[in-house]
Amino acid sequence: MFNLFLNENMKIYRRARTWMLVVLLVLTTIAFLVAQQYTVKPSQVASSDWRTNVQQQITNDQKMLDNLGTNTDRKPRLEARVKLNQYHLDHNIPPTDQTLWGNMLKASSLVMVVTVFTVIIAAESVAGEFSGGTIKMLLIRPTSRSKILLSKYLSTLVFSVLLFVILFISAFVVSGALQGFQDVGVPYVYASSDGILHESNIIQQAVSTYLYSSVQMIMIVTLAFMISTVFRSSSIAIALSLVTMFGGSSIAGFLAQYNWAKYYLFENTDLTQYLTGTPMIPGMTLGFSVTVLIVYFLVFNVLAWVVFKRRDVTA
């Protein structure tokens, strides 16, 4: 089994294409963060010193609170922000979005790029053996088909972890280069839904943000792997799973008005909805979402396994 895993890794990392994806990921991270840095942010233009900016924001928010009138919806949010900013000033803690960590957290949306690249590798993993005819060579060895499929799946997941780590490290280095590393140790301050302020470890916060966004990645990669196995075509697998990812998540908001949509995959992939306490559809709980995710995960994998095990190889 370990040998099979080594084989699959050899087939991934001995290809120039794989390393092109890695380089592309680093370049995308750099481009993304540079663009973020030099895009004008309305609330922060005033000064390079964060204290001035925060003071300015407090003044603005207070003005807005005074003029709010009957519109009370926004009141709690504005009050929380004032409180938070005041805390930053009182304790001399720069707000996260003015340190390198702000950029780090924004770069977590690049997990989507990691997903796309891993989908490419996942799609090629099984379908590539069929289109190249090497599947015949692979399946006439004294090894069960299940083990071969498992080693392919595991090596794909390990590749996604590699890209994930590369994204995290390069985002950290680039953010630091742009904003300086002096604020690397600041705590993360946030207001929970009841308006109470909390301080937490910023590294823990960054890692968990990245990990939360990896839930959707694992589901999409598993989907791509399944399609690759069932259709034996890497292009179909790439196209279908990316359409599912972009299309599927964009209609999640629309579908949220229907109660049955809580069984829909993309209502459940964002687990951060339970941190803020406002789930996509009322009545959903963390346990419910995790169960739905596990069911989808098992269905994808079992389908791939059954098809792969029974397939007549005529390629």
Partner 1 sequence: MWAFFQWIFMNIWYGLTLNRVKRLFQGGNDVSTPIVQVRNLTKRIGSKTIIDHLNFDVQRGEVFGFLGPNGAGKTTTIRMMVGLIGITEGDVLIEGQSISENFERAIVHVGAIVENPEMYKYLSGYQNLIHFARMVPGVTKDRIEEVIRLVALENRIHDKVRTYSLGMRQRLGVAQALLHKPSLLILDEPTNGLDPAGIRELREYLHGLTREAGISVIVSSHLLSEMELMCDRVAIIQQGKLVDVQSIKELIKEGADSQVIFEVDQMELARKLLAQEPVVDAQEKAEGLLMVLDREQIAEVNERLVQGGVKVFGIQKVTQTLEEKFLQLTGGEQIV
Tell whether the torsion through CA atoms of 94, 204, 294 and 123 is positive or negative: positive
Which of 10, 23, 46, 243 binds partner 1 (CB under 8 A)? It is 10
Q: Does 154 bind partner 1 (CB under 8 A)?
A: no
Which of 47, 109, 134, 235 binds partner 1 (CB under 8 A)? It is 134
Q: How far is the CB of 4 from partner 1 (least distance, A)?
A: 7
- Choose the binding region for partner 1 from 93-101, 140-148, 156-164, 189-197 (rule: CB under 8 A): 140-148
CB under 8 A, 24+ apart: contacts of 307-314: 307/229, 307/230, 308/126, 308/145, 308/149, 308/229, 309/145, 309/146, 309/149, 313/135, 313/136, 313/139
Which of 46, 137, 169, 298 binds partner 1 (CB under 8 A)? It is 137
Q: Does 146 bind partner 1 (CB under 8 A)?
A: no
Give residues 208-247 in contact with partner 1 (rule: CB under 8 A).
Answer: none
Q: Please give the DSSP secondary-structure letter assigned to residue 313.
A: -
CA distances from 230 to 152, 180, 252, 261 (A): 14, 49, 26, 26
Cβ atoms within 10 Å of 295's Cβ, excluding its own: 13
Q: How far is the CB of 120 from partner 1 (least distance, A)?
A: 15
Which of 35, 40, 45, 140 binds partner 1 (CB under 8 A)? It is 140
Q: Does 194 bind partner 1 (CB under 8 A)?
A: no
The structure tokens 């379908």 sit at: 127
Nearer to partner 1, 103 or 229 (CB): 229
Which of 141, 254, 257, 277 binds partner 1 (CB under 8 A)? It is 141
Q: Is 178 helix (H, G, I), strand (E, B) or coil?
A: helix
Q: Does 165 bind partner 1 (CB under 8 A)?
A: no
To 5 degrees, how large is the angle CA 227–CA 220–CA 158?
Answer: 95
* Closest to 94 in 3D by CA, of 47, 35, 39, 31: 47
Which of 3, 182, 259, 285 binds partner 1 (CB under 8 A)? It is 3
The alpha carbon of residue 128 and the mean position of all alpha carbons in its chain are separated, in whole angstroms, by 26
Residue 191 phi, psi (nearest 5): -105, 130
Residues 6 or more apart whose Cβ sits within 8 Å of residue 52: 46
Q: Does 13 bind partner 1 (CB under 8 A)?
A: no
Which of 75, 136, 198, 199 binds partner 1 (CB under 8 A)? It is 136
- Choose the binding region for partner 1 from 59-67, 126-134, 228-236, 260-268 (rule: CB under 8 A): 126-134
- Choose the binding region for partner 1 from 31-39, 48-56, 106-114, 135-143 (rule: CB under 8 A): 135-143
* Closest to 214 in 3D by CA, of 163, 279, 149, 286: 163
Which of 36, 143, 205, 249 binds partner 1 (CB under 8 A)? It is 143
- Choose the binding region for partner 1 from 12-20, 184-192, 205-213, 226-234 (rule: CB under 8 A): 12-20
Which of 42, 69, 142, 283 binds partner 1 (CB under 8 A)? It is 142
Q: Does 4 bind partner 1 (CB under 8 A)?
A: yes
- Choose the binding region for partner 1 from 11-19, 228-236, 249-257, 271-279 (rule: CB under 8 A): 11-19
Segment holding 190, helix H or strand E = strand 188-191
Structure tokens, 218: 């694992």
Q: Which residues bind partner 1 (CB under 8 A)?
A: 3-4, 6-7, 10-11, 14-16, 132-134, 136-144, 310, 312-314
